[in-house]
Structure 1
Amino acid sequence: MFFSTRDTGPVADAVKQHWVDTKLPAGMRPYARLARWERPIGWWLLLWPCWWSAALAAVAAGNAIPNVWHLVLFFVGAVAMRGAGCTYNDIVDVDIDAKVERTRSRPIPAGQVTKTQARIFLIAQALLGFLVLIQFNMFSIALGIASLVPVAIYPFMKRVTDWPQLFLGFAFSWGALMGWAAEFGSLALTPLLLYFGGICWTIGYDTIYAHQDKEDDALVGVRSTARLFGSHTKPALIVLYALATVLFGLAAAFADAGPAAFAGILAGAIHLMWQVIVLNIDDGDQCLKLFRSNSTYGWIVFAGFVADALIGSAL
């Protein structure tokens, strides 16, 4: 039987009393938790580079707004592929998750679903993502298939390098290439700069996230930039966020963007600096709150790009 009939309660770090736990049938809840449906921040972080890239493509093409159909496809694809990625990560990391306080109640180590059931669910989500992908041009389809390489290797990196967040950046920033490719059927300097900026941003926000688990990670041998940076996390974040801001600014410049785009990037930089100033790396709850605030950062930058497209098309 595919659907689990065993529900031992929500995951420790999940949102409490979310619709997953209050509205879904008990047998579906473990799968929703595998896909992290109750935690939309994950697919927002995957989606933002896609939408930023689509918005800069609109600026470069002289369009008033990004292609709305593309934005919808990227949204559905981000939800599906983020869920598939989390499911894959949980299958790979089941032994580690069982040893970490925050993750031992996840569906697989908690016995809510078997590995086989999780694999079937993974395939179903990946198929939905593929159906989304084939709506784009052939260049974008090939580019999207190539994204599976960083996705596949990321879960193993925490075992072999202090920089697993770098490999998360490779995977989560891929949308910076996709939005542009979907519009033009090719790549250019703008999406590449946006991609590298997204990698810096990802390392930053996921370092903050990883500080929640640093004690448990040290015990089980999991490596991370949170452990690597330690007490030097704030200076490291300043460098990473500054690099992201500069690279985003260069991406906008090569797209011939105007003042509104740069105003959005500047406002976003202020938000990132606020994260650094208030950060307490020993406060797990605050680390999670600041990590989630990167969705706000995404909206700020996107709003600047969209406003610039509107203004540019009217001139």
Structure 2
Amino acid sequence: MDFTEGYVEGPYGRTWYKVSGPLQGGKPPLVILHGGPGCTHDYVDSFKDLAATGRAVIHYDQLGNGRSTHLPERAGQGDFWTVDLFLGELNRLTAHLGIAEKYDLLGQSWGGMLGAEHAVLQPKGLRRLVIANSPASLKTWVEEANRLRRDLPQDIQDALTRNEEAGTIDSEDYQKASAAFYALHVCRVQPMPPEVQRTFDAIAADPTVYHTMNGPTEFHVIGSMKGWTIESRLHQIIVPTLLISGRHDEATPLCVQPYADHIPDVRWRIFEHSSHMPHVEEKDACLSAVADFLDAA
């Protein structure tokens, strides 16, 4: 598949992007927002196959991650790593590519949270929105993650607790226990596909954004985003919206429900054999559902 790459210059560095398919002359382009905060585009790379449906698909690495400018000196600066920072980056990208007047948006996990934040501002060029595997409140997210944790085998729960209390979450014992949770509720394709593993490796190599905005683990959101919620603003999303989640998702139905309850024009697809990554776990069905939604009259 043909693709082009480039960079968008910003006030704090540059943002890398990749465009799969022709940017002009087709259906409205689809911009992909990766998760984290602090992931890379790699694990959502499969969405590039939607270019075969006649639209350009745009991936990018958010500031601080992947091939974009890294800012390790900003570690712990929660007043720097903000939603507004990433909204500004998205606006620069659409302007740079000349698509700000007409585009679709798909955000996965944190990317869906960011996409919702973008949509409540009612940008004139946004046509359709896909929110994939995203919570509407991080308070609910943490509560649900710890509920799922209590359903793990006791020895895995004990390993998690033991290392958290000892401050040894970097240990092999803790990582192995965390991997058991991930295999159930993050990506049920095991071993993880190479593109997914690349993202996890990238977070480990530079956790600046993840640790600052989220915190050390999925179970302990103590970073600058800990109080985040968009529940009271969801009625301001006026574009048609598709919700995606997996039956075994760490973004449980309770996490996703506010989107379904409060966005006026919304539909919800739950993938029965997936957890947090239907685009990997049930790729063909997931991409087909997204294409059908984007192409709907």
TM-score by length of 1: 0.30
TM-score by length of 2: 0.31
Higher share of residues assigned helix = 1
Higher share of residues assigned strand = 2
* Bigger radius of gyration: 1
